[in-house]
A and B are shown apart, each in its own frame.
Chain A
Amino acid sequence: MVYNPLNILDMKNIKFLILGIFFAIVLSKTQAISWYRFYEMFKFQSFHMFGIIGGAVVISMIFMQLFKHGKIKDINGNKIVPKPKKKGFIRTILGGTFFGLGWGISGACAAPIFVILGFKLIPALILLAGALLGAFIYGILSKKLPN
């Protein structure tokens, strides 16, 4: 079967497009894409980002409990089970530290890189090129890195 690129736009997927737009607006309006907001977070000079991320985590915990007890099922009626994260002390701490370094310097984590394309096109393109290069390097080395 030949893949028709327009299949991507069927109704099953359009809801993710709309959710992406919504998520980007939330991040933009709460300033959670601003370089300054992450700088002050890592310097512990403001509560703003801790409030946003902490609030998101606490309310998500309630949702996770509702998923776990089957009170909320997915659109197809299936139980929602978040994928278990890959285990490994070195990979999570060291990988996390590398990510934190990039995040702290550029003030961007993964989702904001895409949102920032609308705000600062060229810098965001450079960040994205770097991120793809970084993911590529990880892919090449993945078997050789300690977990």
Chain B
Amino acid sequence: MDFILQPWAWYFGGPLIAVSLLLYFYFGKNFGVSTNFETLCSMAGAGKFSNYFKKDWKERDFALLFVFGLIIGGFISVTYLIPNQTIDLNPKTIQELTDLGFSNVGNQYFPDEIFSNEVVFSLKGFLILLVSGLLIGFGTRYAGGCTSGHAITGLSSLQLPSLLAVIGFFIGGIIATWFIIPLIF
């Protein structure tokens, strides 16, 4: 029981993610998550605006159930499996974020400065999340995959496009955390 409630070390996480990929392929499908953004657009009727979305989303019903499982799994985790959301951060990270005006750094998974209700209902807070989401949706579709599809599936099957995409992920992530975060906070 203790193991279930403690945070899991990285050396459990990596193998368990690989097992998820293995099962997904074993069940006969290609592992990845971001194609679902497209599928959800098709379901919502985006086919009226562009042929790109004229796809039969019912063929991806398995993926939609996987996504539904992700949502349920999130609820189960937060309700039963994570009594304490403290993150064991490098003191340097804590100092840096505190200097930027973040409070209670690492006391929970998500900082109030981006995820609290007051912030998300302010114009700036709302736009930070909306624009980030937009970049995620646009970028994953342009690049043809996200962390699961490119970084894990693509790199492990030695595909060159995935290596390029992961280099892109890091260029973007480094610009965001080294330059944009200090600029907007």
Contact = CB atoms under 8 A, between A and B. Distances in A.
Interface residues of A, number: 117
Contacts of B146: 99, 109-111
Nearest to A37: B87
A30 B7 contact: yes
B73 A23 contact: yes
A25 B76 contact: yes
Given A78-B28, A88-B161, A109 B136 contact: yes
A123 B109 CA distance: 13
B177 A43 contact: yes
Chain A interface helix/strand/loop/mixed = helix
B123 interface: no
B135 A21 contact: no
Given A42-B170, A135-B38, A126 B120 contact: yes
Contacts of A67: 25
Contact of B155 (A17, A46, A57): A57
Nearest to B141: A138
Given A34-B110, A86-B161, A92 B144 contact: yes
Nearest to B90: A45
A100 B40 contact: no
Interface of A: 3, 7-9, 12-43, 45-49, 51-61, 63-64, 67, 72, 74-76, 78, 80, 82-89, 91-111, 113-120, 122-123, 126-140, 142, 145
18 contacts: A3-B58, A30-B16, A35-B114, A36-B89, A37-B87, A75-B27, A96-B143, A97-B171, A98-B138, A98-B143, A99-B136, A102-B135, A103-B136, A104-B172, A106-B129, A119-B74, A123-B110, A130-B130
Interface of B: 7-18, 20-31, 33-34, 36-38, 40-41, 44, 46, 49-50, 52-53, 58, 61-79, 81-82, 85, 87, 89-90, 92-93, 96-97, 105-106, 109-111, 114-115, 117, 120, 126, 128-162, 164-178, 180-181, 184
